Structure 1
Amino acid sequence: MHTEERTFVAIKPDGVIRGCVGEIISRFEKKGYKLIGMKMLQVTEDIAAKHYAEHINKPFYPSLVKYITSGPIIAMVFQGYKAVQGIRHLLGATDPCEADVGSIRADYAQLKEYNTIHGSDSIESAEREINIYFKPEELCTDYKNMMEIVTESVDE
């Protein structure tokens, strides 16, 4: 049996404004990750402070907050086998210029500071970030996607 993980993903304001949302979500779903939570919201300074708490004393923090609060984001929770690691691989390197060809950041971003998308870097970060953006009752886990149906039939 495969161990399922949850991870947090956010399409940042530049990705929303440029109309990349559908294409980006499609990449995760095609890879077999199950979307269990999604909402569009305007990040407030309070939410940004919670999300980026580890960066508060860093010199780039004010510009990070200005960027993430500049427009709406799409906050999502995906679930699947090794979801944190797998989704980070699909995202590509933080700096789009260093991202592998075909990764989301290589395809949709140009600058490190405006890199289109965020993905949790660990299971612990994922749980913390999920709890910032979602209440437990907002996550829909009681359905099966195609990947789960296929792996269950193989595992039996």
Structure 2
Amino acid sequence: MEKERTLILIKPDGVAQRHIGEILTRIERKGYQIIALKVTTATQEKLRAHYAQKVDKPYFKDICAYMMEGPLVAVVAEGINIIAAFHRMAGATEPLAAAPGTIRADFGCEWADGNLRNVVHSSDEAQSAAQEIKIWFPELTEK
């Protein structure tokens, strides 16, 4: 089996609640390697590229507001089947629907403003991972 790479974003709520270390530890405990990591901020340009399929949706403005609330941590991690594995580790999109023990179940919560804040983003397939890595880590060369 061949190693693959994925993009993981620890979103502003995960950063603000100080869950960076625990999330990175979970990745490493599974035996995956962190290839690149940086604290950064989202821009409209990056978010339009990252969420290109959602730009025309009515909730896109809320996504941008959430992702620009504060700094985030962008991570490129590598390993065999890491895309599927980290997607399972993250849990369901809605924190209340996420299985116990997943990142979103453990660290996600309901917010008074009703907006969805779910701690992490994870690529859902190899093609989207490659595109997302180029957006957040343009300095990396393709594997």
TM-score by length of 1: 0.85
SS of 1:46 mapped into structure 2: helix
1:131 equivalent in alignment to 2:138: no
Instruction: State whether residues 76 and 133 of structure 2, in contact with CA within 8 Å, keep that contact through their aligned partners in structure 1.
Output: yes
Match of 2:4 in 1: 5
Structure of greater Rg: 1
d(CA) in 2 for partners of 1:125, 1:55: 14
1:113 corresponds to which of 89, 112, 116: 116
Instruction: State whether residues 2 and 80 of structure 2, in contact with CA within 8 Å, keep that contact through their aligned partners in structure 1.
Output: yes
d(CA) in 1 for partners of 2:141, 2:92: 30
Report the Cα offset of residue 137 of structure 1. Answer: 4.0
Report the Cα offset of residue 135 of structure 1. Answer: 2.8
1:29 equivalent in alignment to 2:9: no
Instruction: State whether residues 34 and 75 of structure 2, in contact with CA within 8 Å, keep that contact through their aligned partners in structure 1.
Output: yes
Report the Cα offset of residue 70 of structure 1. Answer: 1.1
TM-score by length of 2: 0.92
Q: How does 1:63-142 map to 2 (within 5 A)?
A: 63-111=62-110, 113-137=116-140
Instruction: State whether residues 37 and 138 of structure 1, in contact with CA within 8 Å, keep that contact through their aligned partners in structure 2.
Output: no
Q: Quick one: percent identity of the two aligned structures?
A: 37
Where structure 1 has 5 or more consecutive residues not aligned to the other structure, the ranges are 142-156
Instruction: State whether residues 4 and 79 of structure 1, in contact with CA within 8 Å, keep that contact through their aligned partners in structure 2.
Output: yes
The verdict on how the C-alpha distance between 1:104 and 1:131 changes in structure 2, with shifts beyond 3 A counting, is same
How many aligned residue pairs are there? 139
Deviation above 6 Å: which 4+ runs of structure 1?
none
Instruction: State whether residues 7 and 123 of structure 1, in contact with CA within 8 Å, keep that contact through their aligned partners in structure 2.
Output: yes
Where structure 2 has 5 or more consecutive residues not aligned to the other structure, the ranges are none
RMSD of aligned C-alpha atoms? 1.6
